[in-house]
Amino acid sequence: VFLAHLALVAALAAMHVPELIAAARDGLHDPGANATLEPQMQAALTHSAELAWPYLLVGLGVAFVWSIAWIGIVQAFAESLIYIALIATPAVFLALTLWPGNPSPVATGVFFIVTMFYACWIVLTQRNRVEFARLTLATVAGVIRTHPGMWIVSLLSMVPAVAWQLAWLMTAGATFFHFRAHGERFSYVDSRTGESREGVSIGALGVITLVFLLLSTYWTSQVISNVVHVTNSGVLATWYFRQRSRLPRPTVHALGRALSTSFGSICLGSLLVALVQLLHDMAESARQNSAEGGLVSSIVWCCVVCFIGYLEALIALFNHWAFTQVAIYGKDFKTAARHTWHLVEARGLSGLVNMNLTSNAVGLGVLLGGVLSAALVAGLAHDRLLVAPTSKPGVSEDVQGVYAAAYALTIAAAAVCAVACTTTISSAVTSGVTTLFVCWAEDPAALLASNPPLHASFEHISSGFLRDHPPRHGPGPDGRADVENPRPLPAQQYQAPTVAVGTPVGQQPPPPNVPVAHAVPASQAGP
């Protein structure tokens, strides 16, 4: 279905893009099209663009180097970064609350209070959770450094993501232009000003087509992101279960599974999130149009938009954990979702707190990467892009404005590129942290067999958590609490299939407690 939908988007592009290109060419050949643009302004626009693009490349290069260096920083200073992130979040909200230009100080003040209480709760009563987050973060960062294919896949995913967005923008713009050019024109009276205006109706077919294209961009973007997540989760799971008999090229194998046996599950889960995103956009549009319906209508639609927004966030988070199950065990999405729900019931709070602590620490690198890239580009481009062109005699204020705008846009573009690059590479850390938590929660014995020292560290932290926070609902069947100190969940809930996913006939089955997706052929098994 996903591939068929891409084919339909391609058909829309083939039908409507040539029409848009032809109309654009007619506009360029119109003698009066550029009559209002002075030759000096045209030259300034061209010259500023020529000066700006090398600095964009510099900013992108700085972002790439910083992203790779940040992985090492996370591994070395994981605990410090967690505490810095805990303090930085309420500090930012406090600064926004005290800022005189803040349009909503009450809202930021509420966020400050909530984040401050959360930070105090973590620091004063949840030290073992911080230790657990530190260990998972440092471990995952170390795995990424030894398996660079994880961040390489994340980085390369930007190529199809950017290409898709450009193609989609062209297709959506051409489709809208087509329906608008052939739409029915009508007159109406503006309710606010009382003036008579003209509009164009694109018809039911046009509305359906544009809604389909909006769903398409959400769905495809989700699929690309989740393919990367499943790939990185698969690599981490292979490391977890197969440290002694390593699978060669684990990233290639994980990517192959994500694009083959697990691709249907990825498309299905991504479609659910995309549908909620589309519903959120439709509700937001209705909320904006409800201003004319009175106060009650506006309040109702505000509540609806808020509810759908929370639903979207919950489904996206649930999918993140479900796709981890898909990556580890090769389950279909329905089974993975059911098992994820059991895991959330058993250890949901621990998983969410661990994910929040690690994500905030990783997010510091994203912020610092954007600031570093923007500051460097601003310093390098200041003289050549801003001072030198505008200091020449006879330069008009309009031309000076062109170079000033180019300078500001270059800095902003460098910051955006840095944030995008750092976020993309850091997504490997987020996927790895989630996968390590799931693997440890469901099968700690596998880590004991593959890495006894690391298992001892996790076990020590888990025992400390139980000592400081005795279980409220009693111990599990093995005498241990069903919270931070994990144990394998019941076999009927997490039973690996007997046939390896994507494994050719003739290869040996995986040993006990090893997910079939990470089985190593006998010819490739290590000592």
Instruction: Determine, yes or no, domain membership for 420.
Output: yes
The model's pLDDT over 160-204, given as tens digits with 9 standing for 90+, comes to 988 998 899 999 988 988 888 877 777 776 666 667 777 777 888
- pLDDT beyond 80 at 1: yes
Give the distance between the most distant pair of CA atoms in the chain.
85
| Measured distance CA(171)–CA(20) in Å, rounded | 9
The model's pLDDT over 308-353, given as tens digits with 9 standing for 90+, comes to 988 888 888 889 989 999 999 888 888 888 888 887 776 655 666 7
Instruction: Determine, yes or no, domain membership for 439.
Output: yes
pLDDT of the residue at 514: 47
Instruction: Determine, yes or no, domain membership for 152.
Output: yes
> What count of Cα atoms within 13 Å lies in the side-chain half-sphere of residue 393?
0
| Measured distance CA(325)–CA(332) in Å, rounded | 9
Number of neighbouring beta carbons within 10 Å of residue 97: 18
| Measured distance CA(464)–CA(472) in Å, rounded | 16
| Measured distance CA(25)–CA(47) in Å, rounded | 23
Instruction: Determine, yes or no, domain membership for 25.
Output: no
Provide the strand spans (E) within 11-94: none
pLDDT of the residue at 376: 92
pTM of the predicted protein model: 0.78
Domain of 120?
A: 2-16+44-182+208-495
Q: If we measure between CA atoms, which residue out of 238, 157, 205, 156 comes closest to residue 435?
A: 238
Q: What is the dihedral of CA 71, 72, 73, 79, to 10 degrees?
A: 90
Number of domains in the chain: 1
Quick check: 502 and 517 in contact, CB under 8 A? yes
Instruction: Determine, yes or no, domain membership for 32.
Output: no
Instruction: Determine, yes or no, domain membership for 515.
Output: no
Instruction: Determine, yes or no, domain membership for 21.
Output: no
The model's pLDDT over 2-41, given as tens digits with 9 standing for 90+, comes to 999 999 999 999 998 888 888 767 654 455 544 444 677 7
Q: What is the dihedral of CA 179, 184, 188, 192, to 10 degrees?
A: 0
Instruction: Determine, yes or no, domain membership for 161.
Output: yes
CA distances from 389 to 49, 51, 377, 385, 401 (A): 12, 10, 17, 7, 11
Task: List all residues 6 or more positions away from 240 whose beta carbon is below 8 Å from its beta carbon.
Answer: 435, 436, 439, 446, 447, 450
Q: How confident is the model at residue 506 (pLDDT cuts 50, 70, 90)?
A: very low
pLDDT of the residue at 523: 33
Count the residues in the chain. Answer: 527
- Lookup: tokens for 338: 């059911």
Quick check: 515 and 235 in contact, CB under 8 A? no
